[in-house]
Structure 1
């Protein structure tokens, strides 16, 4: 179920779901999903017996995730707001993140509207960098961060920031998918920024896996 204006599960959601499926999820493991959208990933984890907290800045997304949890009769704690404020003082075994990562002309994150699900500043890293910095405080020892984003956002920078934060990270999956309408609409700007080549029409997605030491 997807309410109007809520990000629909797409290729990045599917990649993250496959990455989660490859992880051992012990009974009653504590899992956090940042940017839950419809709640699809959070509910997948809840179906494996995990205790899941899902966070989103969109009230429509929060409502959608709660309705989907009711429909599937799965326990899911869904919170509205910024992930750092909603999780203060709590640590998790697994953190899932499908953050906004599409490069955008604006230097600021959108404050409203569906673009909050994808726009993330000129380099696409406004939220990614916050997650990298926050990960050590969110994960228990041995905890795992699974994050998906575009190769346009410089995965090496993500790995470097995670290493500086004390996490051992690696890129575990790479997949190419056709450009969606947002990237197609920004073709000229992306080319001017050096983020896309002329005639390019596919985006590389990556899964970053990092472990708290």
Structure 2
């Protein structure tokens, strides 16, 4: 599929990254979150990238002067980030582990995450294989919920969480869960994209579960920002980005997931 969005700066940076087999490569959700990260990150910030994949977002923050720690449960992902950090000459600290591992790493000014979020017929999480990068249980919330619950412990008093996921796993549920954890949460960016091969292969099941209407052919991605009460929103995005015609149709990103 062709990429229908802009994001020329992020796409240019991400196109240089190596990605080992089985590691989540930068895609539309990565670019959407990168734009929010670029509006939030500042030199000297302590940044944590949970479910880092290729390290695209970790390196994006490091290039902007942040002190970055990247965490992923996949050893292939951890190795990919280390290789990319060496190639890009960026000082990123890499840890192999889960969301729970991140809790032992201290607190951060900014926590970013593009976690697995795709609803799957199989309950629980895959133990291995490429699907571990996107499958997240029947409702797609196995990892999203863990991040929502853990975020307050990961953030400094005025810290911020930025997370991207599909509306298929419940935008309102994420906002409610973060609010229940004592955070101010809001959607700060969104877009719609055509279904990829994984979602297309699951259309009958997704419709049977009531997650998709019979005529839906696109997926909404949302970026959620959460922080202490009174933190400012990044921008007002009542219009989905996908509704606007892009002015720059550069080289598309390779899509390997939903």
TM-score by length of 2: 0.80
Computed over aligned residues only, the root mean square deviation of the Cα atoms, in angstroms, reads 1.0
Partner of 1:18: 35
Q: Which runs of 5+ in 2 are unaligned?
A: 1-17, 230-258
Check if 1:139 corresponds to 2:163.
no
| Distance of 1:182 and 1:107 partners within structure 2 | 16
Asked if structure 1 preserves the Cα contact closer than 8 Å seen for 2:111 and 2:161, the reply is: yes
| Distance of 1:78 and 1:39 partners within structure 2 | 9
Partner of 1:38: 54
| Distance of 2:203 and 2:99 partners within structure 1 | 31
Asked if structure 1 preserves the Cα contact closer than 8 Å seen for 2:78 and 2:96, the reply is: yes
Relative contact order, higher structure (CA 8 A, sep 6+): 2
> Shift of the alpha carbon at 1:83?
2.4
| Distance of 1:163 and 1:188 partners within structure 2 | 33
| Distance of 2:187 and 2:43 partners within structure 1 | 27
Asked if structure 1 preserves the Cα contact closer than 8 Å seen for 2:102 and 2:154, the reply is: no
Larger strand fraction of residues: 1
Asked if structure 2 preserves the Cα contact closer than 8 Å seen for 1:95 and 1:145, the reply is: yes
Check if 1:165 corresponds to 2:189.
no
Q: Which runs of 5+ in 1 are unaligned?
A: none
> Shift of the alpha carbon at 1:89?
5.4
| Distance of 1:205 and 1:147 partners within structure 2 | 10
| Distance of 1:138 and 1:202 partners within structure 2 | 33
